[in-house]
Structures are given as C-alpha cells and as structure tokens.
Amino acid sequence: METLKSAAQLSRYLPFPVVYLAEQFSMRPEKIINNPFEVCSLISKYQKEYQKF
C-alpha cells in the first residue's frame, strides 16, 4: 500500500471519527493506517481526554 499523505486520502480507508481524532492529536495518517493498534490507542486517548464532559 502506498503511503498516505493526507487526512483526505486516509478518509477513504477509515471512518471519519478516526481521521478527525488523528488530526486532533497530530498523528501522521500513514502511521495509523499501517498500524491498527494506533487506532485503538487513539480512541482510548480520546476517551480519557473527553471523559470529564
């Protein structure tokens, strides 16, 4: 798979919330798409961040 350079490209492969979270936490899209564990840790990080609401 070619390296994905932008969130727009990434959004073809992953649901919008994951792309959005990647942008929020400044994670490189190719890092996420190549490593599903990163997606899990990203969601976990998001939950901790917004738990207080």
32 CB burial (10 A radius; 0-12, 13-18, 19+): buried
pLDDT computed for residue 8 by the predictor: 57
Instruction: Confirm whether 1 is domain-assigned.
Output: no
Instruction: Confirm whether 28 is domain-assigned.
Output: yes
Task: List, for residues 5-37, the tens digit of each pLDDT value.
Answer: 555 565 565 666 666 767 776 666 666 666 777
Instruction: Confirm whether 25 is domain-assigned.
Output: yes
Instruction: Confirm whether 19 is domain-assigned.
Output: yes
Give me the domain span that covers residue 30. Answer: 7-50
Instruction: Confirm whether 33 is domain-assigned.
Output: yes
Domain count, the chain: 1
Let me know: does 22 contact 10? Beta carbons within 8 Å: yes
Instruction: Confirm whether 2 is domain-assigned.
Output: no
